[in-house]
């Protein structure tokens, strides 16, 4: 089976982009060649031979024009990929940059198409699925979103045009929607994007971490909460910083160690100063490779306090694989990664006092932290493995190719028994 992946996205590389690259390597290793065409404004410094990158304009008037009116060069690259690679199936990841060119191309294709929903944008214009006041939204409101108080603003017409083009030209060609979380599987099913297949993803865990648990923080280190990810306000930076302020009353020497970068960093630094905790918060910037491993060894608990929809957070898997407990907000698929009371705690969205209480409970009890770390590690290393994911993915591909995915929602695991992969 030969797979052509198309990924259109804007901005810094995130978990979805890393997933596309790593799963492509894994697929090729199993004898199923893969080629990736990425439409993006950020081309990595290490492009691989099986990757093609098409630059798109950054956000603004030029970007909108390039998206709403199909660019001939995008179509040429996509046609060339089909002609030269000769795929059996096209796998769409994201539907963003240059979307109209992608829509017209897919509409004309005779090759089967599947799609992975890495976020909730098919059912929510800004992908948050969260209304003001931390009220979980059921999605599908679309033109009426501007009346709910959500921050869609002037971007709503653009988002609606994008969705209309998808529904008109692309949706009828999609044989299956792969959803990393059960939460998103149900969202898509309820909103008419079917068949929706739950296909849990995985995080890339180094072999040495899988083989043996890394050392946990030394007892002499101050109690440290970690945050790892892109610095955006929707990642829960506000309630996280406020929870640290509350924790100082209970654990005077508590610290917050933030790894990652992004547009919210200046505001987060300013908020830490206003709260009087600037001396307790360290902003490390981007951490990868050995620097990331060292960072993990210096934290006692990871905070995953997102205030917008999280599909299946890779960072929650990464932390638990290293024996680190996680406190996550009750949004999207977080509770599918972190089992409340086992690998960590699940707390209400945007609730700084509840977040502080859960973090403090773990920081104050080394035995509890150790037990949660062991259970979380066992869970992640058994459930979210590359081997399990690739087996399920191949079964889902085969079922989609042969028209066997008709019921929805469906678990990819159930497709394994009748999989016929060529």
Look at residue 74 and tell me whether its pLDDT is greater than 70: yes
Q: What percent of the chain has pLDDT over 70?
A: 96
Q: For residue 209, what pLDDT is reported?
A: 95
Q: For residue 418, what pLDDT is reported?
A: 66
Most confident by average pLDDT, 126-135, 145-154, 174-183: 174-183
219-252: pLDDT as tens digits: 789 999 999 999 999 999 999 999 999 999 999 9
Asked if 84 and 77 touch (Cβ cutoff 8 Å), the reply is no
Q: What average pLDDT score do residues 384-400 get?
A: 94
The count of other CB atoms within 10 Å of the CB of residue 253 is 10
Q: Going by C-beta distance under 8 Å and a sequence separation of 6 or more, which residues neighbour residue 108?
A: none
Tokens of 73: 């060069």
Look at residue 421 and tell me whether its pLDDT is greater than 60: no
Look at residue 13 and tell me whether its pLDDT is greater than 70: no
Tell me which of 361 and 217 has the higher pLDDT: 361
Q: For residue 142, what pLDDT is reported?
A: 84
Q: For residue 60, what pLDDT is reported?
A: 67
Q: Going by C-beta distance under 8 Å and a sequence separation of 6 or more, which residues neighbour residue 391?
A: 416
**Could you tell me the pLDDT band of residue 154, with boundaries at 50, 70 and 90?**
low
323-332: pLDDT as tens digits: 999 999 999 9
Rounded Cα–Cα distance for residues 396 and 413 (Å): 9
**Could you tell me the pLDDT band of residue 70, with boundaries at 50, 70 and 90?**
confident
Angle of helix 15-29 relative to helix 386-401, nearest 10 degrees?
Answer: 80
Q: For residue 204, what pLDDT is reported?
A: 85
Q: What average pLDDT score do residues 392-409 get?
A: 90
**Could you tell me the pLDDT band of residue 310, with boundaries at 50, 70 and 90?**
very high
Look at residue 422 and tell me whether its pLDDT is greater than 70: no
Q: What average pLDDT score do residues 95-122 get?
A: 94
* CA 231 to chain CA centroid, nearest Å: 14
31-52: pLDDT as tens digits: 999 999 999 887 877 788 889 9
The pTM of this model reads 0.92
**Could you tell me the pLDDT band of residue 110, with boundaries at 50, 70 and 90?**
very high
Q: What is the rounded average pLDDT for all residues in the chain?
A: 92
Rounded Cα–Cα distance for residues 114 and 175 (Å): 5
**Could you tell me the pLDDT band of residue 11, with boundaries at 50, 70 and 90?**
low
Q: For residue 59, what pLDDT is reported?
A: 63
Distances from the Cα of 417 to the Cα of 384, 399, 411, 420, angstroms: 19, 11, 12, 9
Q: Going by C-beta distance under 8 Å and a sequence separation of 6 or more, which residues neighbour residue 170?
A: 92, 95, 102, 103, 106, 107, 113
- Lowest-pLDDT range, 40-44, 295-299, 399-403? 40-44
Q: What percent of the chain has pLDDT over 90?
A: 73
Q: What average pLDDT score do residues 159-171 get?
A: 93
Rounded Cα–Cα distance for residues 46 and 53 (Å): 11
Mind listing the domains of the chain with CATH numbers?
3-204+386-418 (3.40.50.2000), 208-383 (3.40.50.2000)
Look at residue 86 and tell me whether its pLDDT is greater than 60: yes
């Amino acid at each position: 089976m030969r797979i052509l992946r198309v990924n259109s996205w804007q901005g810094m590389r995130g978990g979805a982009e890393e997933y596309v690259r790593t799963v492509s390597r894994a697929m090729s290793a199993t004898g199923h060649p893969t080629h990736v065409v990425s439409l993006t404004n950020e081309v990595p410094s290490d492009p691989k031979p099986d990757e093609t990158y098409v630059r798109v304009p950054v956000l603004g008037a030029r970007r909108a024009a390039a998206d709403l009116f199909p660019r001939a060069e995008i179509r040429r690259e996509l046609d060339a990929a089909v002609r030269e690679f000769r795929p059996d199936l096209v796998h769409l990841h994201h539907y963003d940059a240059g979307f109209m060119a992608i829509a017209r191309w897919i509409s004309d294709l005779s090759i089967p198409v599947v799609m992975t929903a890495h976020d909730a944008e098919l059912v929510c214009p800004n992908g948050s699925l969260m209304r003001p006041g931390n009220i979980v939204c059921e999605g599908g409101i679309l033109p009426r979103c501007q009346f709910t108080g959500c921050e869609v603003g002037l971007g709503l017409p653009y988002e609606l045009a994008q969705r209309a083009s998808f529904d008109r030209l692309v949706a009828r060609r999609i044989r299956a929607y792969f959803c990393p979380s059960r939460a998103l599987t149900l969202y898509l099913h309820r909103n008419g994007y079917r068949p929706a297949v739950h296909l849990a993803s995985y995080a890339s865990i180094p072999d040495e971490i899988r083989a043996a648990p890394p050392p946990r923080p030394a007892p002499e280190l101050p109690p440290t909460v970690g945050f790892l990810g892109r610095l955006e306000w929707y990642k829960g930076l506000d309630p996280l910083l406020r929870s640290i302020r509350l924790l100082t009353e209970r654990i005077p020497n508590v610290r917050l160690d933030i790894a990652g970068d992004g547009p919210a960093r200046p505001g987060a630094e300013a908020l830490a100063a206003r709260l009087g905790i600037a001396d307790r918060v360290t902003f490390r910037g981007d951490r990868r490779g050995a620097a990331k491993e060292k960072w993990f060894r210096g934290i006692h608990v990871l905070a995953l306090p997102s205030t917008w929809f999280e599909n299946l957070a890779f960072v929650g898997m990464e932390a638990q694989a290293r024996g680190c407990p996680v406190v996550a907000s009750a949004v999207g698929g977080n509770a599918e990664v972190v089992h409340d009371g086992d690998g960590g705690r699940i707390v209400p969205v945007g609730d700084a006092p509840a977040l502080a209480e859960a973090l403090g409970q773990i920081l104050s009890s080394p035995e509890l932290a150790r037990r949660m770390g062991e259970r979380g590690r066992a869970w992640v290393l058994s459930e979210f493995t590359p081997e399990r994911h690739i087996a399920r993915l191949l079964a889902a591909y085969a079922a989609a190719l042969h028209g066997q995915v008709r019921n929805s929602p469906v678990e990819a695991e159930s497709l394994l028994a009748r999989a016929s992969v060529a």
